[in-house]
Amino acid sequence: MDEASALMTRFIIGELQSRDPALVPDGINTPDGIRSPRVGGDIKRQILEHAMAHSGPEIIVEIGQGIKNFADAPIIHVLKNSRSPHVLAEKWARLERYGHSKNRCRIIEDASDDFRFQRHATKGPVPTVAENLVICGFMIALLELGGCKGLRCRLGRAGEPNLEVYSGGKVLAITKPMLNQTDEWSIQWQKFDNSKFESDQDGLLDFPALLKDELNAVPPVVRNANQLICEDLGRHWLVGDLASELGASARSLQRRFKRAGLSFSTLVRAARIQQAGKLLTGSELSATEIGYCCGFTDSAHFSRDFSAGTGMSPSAYRQYAGPS
């Protein structure tokens, strides 16, 4: 079935209506986004095609800038709160997988200050021009939110003339020839500033209760590792990345974990489960949002790992462990 994210469709409708109600076709109802997480993909395409015909392709790229008004929304916060552009891009890829999106964005060239993105479909028809442009706009805005300065974006495939679509904080004119190359684009930035990276200081860094009974004592290196993991649970942590952050080799860190009677994967999983439990009982976020924000691969992994760690499904935990 051809489906699209209801939350993204809702955001697109809201952003277009805030600019000009005529940008949204008559008869389109704003999806709930909570009760019905998916809507027909043809609805999103109809909205984007209508807006592009009404005001040109530039308006489609500009939609993405609207997420800057929602920087504190949980999923946007997780995305922008990244130690590097590469971590942010990985989080976006996980979001696409988490939502089972058929149209996805992959990095085909990766440099310290430059990404080349390519859009593709996992099955079915390829993404439309408007669908490509709206995701391009989202990536521009997210990278800027994350700390990329002096960002520029060019449409075009590798080895062919690339035409600038974004520079100096503005969307530039998009000509008809450029619309033939929206399936690839490059984004460059002059510098990356992650000084606004926010580590949680309100209890998130507690050592996982799930593990305290398994250890006689928690070695400092394990506590430090847990703190780094908890500062960015939305990140796809690898033992090599964690070791590098701690100034150790991956092999040395794994040996220290082993001496402590635990593994890297167990620590990551326990930290994710602990924070998910806090959010289930202390917030009104949906289970889908909580699973993504805590770094789980998808809803199935969240439910399985949480049930294994607590003896309850996420929904049962929220019902029985939440405030009475």
Q: pLDDT digits over 143-162, tens only? A: 999 999 999 999 998 877 77
Residue 30 has pLDDT above 80, yes or no: no
271-314 pLDDT, tens per residue? 999 999 999 999 888 898 899 999 999 999 999 999 999 999 99
Check if the beta carbon of residue 48 is closer than 8 Å to that of residue 12: yes
CA–CA gap between residue 279 and residue 203 (Å, rounded): 12
Coil vs helix vs strand at 38 = strand
Q: What is the pLDDT of residue 251?
A: 94
Single out the residue of 93, 121, 97, 122 nearest to residue 106, CA to CA: 93
CA atoms within 13 A on the CB side of 309: 24
Is 70 exceeded by the pLDDT of residue 58? yes
The model's confidence at residue 199, banded by pLDDT at 50, 70 and 90, is low
Answer whether 6's CB lies under 8 Å from 31's CB: yes
Where in the chain are the domains? 1-55, 70-197, 209-321
Q: Among residues of the chain, what percentage have pLDDT more than 70?
A: 88
What size, in residues, is the chain?
Answer: 324
Residue type, 62: E
Rounded to the nearest 10 degrees, how much is the dihedral formed by the CA atoms of 101, 281, 197, 265? Answer: -70
Amino acid identity of residue 72, one-letter, is: D
Q: Cα(113)–Cα(297) distance, rounded to whole angstroms? A: 27
Residue whose tokens read 């277009």: 16
Q: According to CATH, what is the number of the domain 209-321?
A: 1.10.10.60
Dihedral in degrees, nearest 10, Cα atoms 97, 122, 38, 53: 120
Q: Which of 125, 249, 250, 147 is nearest to 198 (CA)?
A: 147
Residue 217 has a pLDDT of 62
Contact 211, 270 (CB under 8 A): yes
pLDDT of residue 43: 85
24/14 Cα distance (integer angstroms): 9
